[in-house]
């Protein structure tokens, strides 16, 4: 991907920033310590006023660094995009990067989801807690070691467990990604099916 004026300006301002391979938008990699200042620079001087997404990459157990935070920025005036990445500090049990909620309030939910799914701590976040899974859930479902079909885990709320008529549930949704067999049904009306239905099959068996 050719360099963009914003990426060039960012690398000039932050000497440790480097190009990152990308097939769509300009992408720059920098140290975690520079994240807040670099994204502020892109917002205030390069017109990237919209933080479109905050996510992460788990490179798998044994990789060093294992986790990389990913920020997608968009300019509502020039309609340009830029991707910024930063390797998390800390170890596998407690990876961390600085929070950017001070720059974009909307980062609040993005960072909470990333914390919930990957276990990445966003230092300085005003209210860092899980957003999808319940408090006390012992896993991070988007980590590479988490099985595709989920892990059976006791529901923490008795009322919810009674309503679902289930003692345990896998999380996230059983099996994903969802697929439907072509030629066998009207795909516009069909409910998607998980590739792994083993949990449902066990649940439907009589005790």
Beta bridge partners of 54: 71
Within this chain, do residues 34 and 80 fall inside the same structural domain, yes or no?
yes
Give the pLDDT of residue 188: 52
Do 31 and 78 fall within a single domain? yes
Q: Is there a domain that residue 139 lies in? A: no
Residues 6+ apart with CB under 8 A from 11: 17, 18, 19, 28
Q: Which segment, 107-116, 132-141, 181-190, is predicted with the most confidence on average? A: 107-116
**Is residue 151 over pLDDT 50?**
yes
* Residue 40 falls inside a structural domain: yes
Q: For 145-157, what is the mean pLDDT?
A: 82
Query: Does residue 169 share a domain with residue 117?
Result: no
Assess whether 12 and 93 both reside in one domain: yes
Does residue 116 sit in the same domain as residue 189? no
Averaged pLDDT for residues 36-60: 97
204 pLDDT more than 70 = no
Query: In the prediction, which pLDDT does 53 show?
Result: 96
What is the predicted pLDDT for the residue at 153?
Answer: 83
Q: In the prediction, which pLDDT does 149 show? A: 84
Q: Domain limits at 186? A: 153-204
Please give the tally of structural domains in the chain.
2
CATH classification at residue 45: 3.30.460.80
Answer yes or no: do 157 and 97 share one domain.
Answer: no
Q: What is the pLDDT of residue 126?
A: 97
Percentage of the chain with pLDDT > 90?
64
Identify whether 129 is part of a domain. no
Give a yes or no: residue 148 inside a domain. Answer: no
pLDDT in tens, 6-28: 999 999 999 999 999 988 899 99
Same structural domain for residues 192 and 108?
no
Q: Looking at residue 163, what is its pLDDT? A: 53
| 27 and 119, same domain (yes or no) | yes
Q: Which stretch of 1-5, 18-22, 156-160 has the lowest confidence by average pLDDT? A: 156-160
The mean pLDDT of the chain is 84
pLDDT the model gives residue 184:
54
Pair (68, 168) in one structural domain = no
């Amino acid at each position: 991907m050719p360099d963009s004026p914003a990426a060039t300006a960012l690398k000039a301002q932050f000497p440790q920033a480097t190009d990152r391979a990308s097939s769509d938008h300009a992408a720059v990699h920098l140290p975690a310590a520079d994240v807040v200042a670099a994204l502020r620079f892109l917002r205030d001087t390069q017109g990237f006023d919209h933080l479109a997404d905050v996510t992460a990459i788990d490179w798998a157990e044994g990789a060093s660094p294992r986790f990389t935070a990913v920020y997608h920025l968009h300019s509502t005036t020039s309609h340009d995009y830029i991707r910024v990445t930063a390797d998390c500090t800390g170890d596998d049990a407690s990876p961390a990067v600085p929070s950017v909620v001070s720059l974009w309030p909307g980062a609040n939910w993005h960072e909470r989801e990333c914390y919930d799914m990957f276990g990445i701590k966003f230092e300085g976040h005003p209210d860092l807690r899980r957003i999808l899974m319940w408090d006390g859930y012992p896993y991070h479902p988007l980590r590479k070691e988490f099985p595709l079909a989920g892990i059976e885990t006791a529901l923490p709320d008795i009322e919810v467990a009674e309503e679902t008529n289930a003692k345990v549930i896998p999380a996230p949704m059983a099996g994903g990604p969802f697929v439907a067999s072509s030629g066998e049904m009207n795909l516009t009306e069909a409910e998607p099916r998980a590739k792994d239905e083993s949990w449902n099959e066990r649940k439907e068996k009589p005790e």
